[in-house]
Amino acid sequence: MDTCSPVGEMEFVKGFVGLCDVGWRMGWHERNGGNLSYRLTEEEAEGVRLGSDAEGSPWEPLGVAAPSLAGSLLLVTGSGRYLKNASAAPERELGIVELSPEGDAWRLVWGFAEGGRPTSELPSHVLNLSVRSEATGGACRVLYHAHPSHLVAMTALVPLTDRDVTLRLWRAMTECVIACPRGLGVVPWAVPGSAELAEASSELFRTYDAVVWAQHGLFASGDGFDEALGLVHAVEKAAEIYCLARSMNAGSEDFPNTIDDDGLRAIAHRYDLPLNEALLD
């Protein structure tokens, strides 16, 4: 990495705004809907700190504590900002926050050039990045929250359990179990930005790579931007196919053709996937 580049031109910022652009074009970010965070590598953080004068500025409390992320730098979307604008002016639309030595407070080290704050879901992002990072031996760096229509529509109809939602998606489209062999966690409807939603999600992220928020959207994790985006895309496509099939079947879930448990196990065997057997019949 070229540490002399302006921060806005660094590769990880390009990857970040690239995801924002694709998510916007997919129709997953009406108004200021959705948010994204990325945990910088040590090398990237070093490059950012070189050009920053944040040392000595005050810490703002997070409301949660993630000691395992103490001192980390996170690139995040802004509160009230539209993801569609991120690529045009990353230094205005995005910010990099540093977490305190206790992991319970933040301060801005780059971005929000014309004023602004990190997404109101920052506590959720910090907590969940910490859980996913621990669950993946440090590999997970991205958390992405989107509002994909078919998945949200599905939560109006199906029982809101991990098993009920996951099995319907796995059975709808072959690629889905390949994208998320551990399945999906499901949180019944809760107020956005609430501690209740953040804590329920972080509990589920110990097991799952992604968590569905009923009547709201999806929170997906990934080692990189492609993995997080691809996970949302695969889940949403499976949900779309489920909704289409159900509509064509007069609303009935009694489908003549589907992928049964043996089929799901055969896919997992063929591609050496960590299939979550607890979710099968």
For Zn ion, the closer CB: 90 or 217: 217
Kindly write out the interface string for residues 5-34 of this chain, putting x where it contacts Zn ion by CB under 5 A and - elsewhere. Answer: ------------------------------
For Zn ion, the closer CB: 87 or 124: 124
Strands 184-187 and 210-213 turn out to be parallel
Nearest by Cα to 273 from 210, 206, 179, 185: 179
Cα-based torsion angle of the residue sequence 133, 44, 11, 113 in order, rounded to the nearest 10 degrees: 100
What CA–CA distance (Å, rounded) separates 19 from 12?
Answer: 11
Question: Which stretch in 13-21, 169-177, 210-218, 224-232 sits in contact with Zn ion by CB under 5 A?
Answer: 210-218
Give the DSSP H or E segment for 142.
strand 142-146
CB of 60 to Zn ion, least distance (A): 22
Q: Which of residues 217-236 bind Zn ion (CB under 5 A)?
A: 217
What CA–CA distance (Å, rounded) separates 97 from 206?
Answer: 24
Q: Do the Cβ atoms of 215 and 152 come closer than 8 Å?
A: yes
For Zn ion, the closer CB: 152 or 176: 152
Q: Which one of the listed residues 44, 93, 98, 121 is annotated catalytic? A: 121
121 among known catalytic residues:
yes
CB of 34 to Zn ion, least distance (A): 6
Q: How many residues bind Zn ion (CB under 5 A)?
A: 1
- In the chain, where does DSSP find H-type helix? 11-25, 42-50, 90-93, 122-135, 149-154, 162-172, 174-179, 195-204, 225-248, 261-271
Question: Which stretch in 57-65, 148-156, 213-221, 266-274 sits in contact with Zn ion by CB under 5 A?
Answer: 213-221
Question: Which stretch in 69-77, 125-133, 214-222, 239-247 sits in contact with Zn ion by CB under 5 A?
Answer: 214-222
Binding interface with Zn ion (CB under 5 A): 217
Catalytic residue annotation = 121
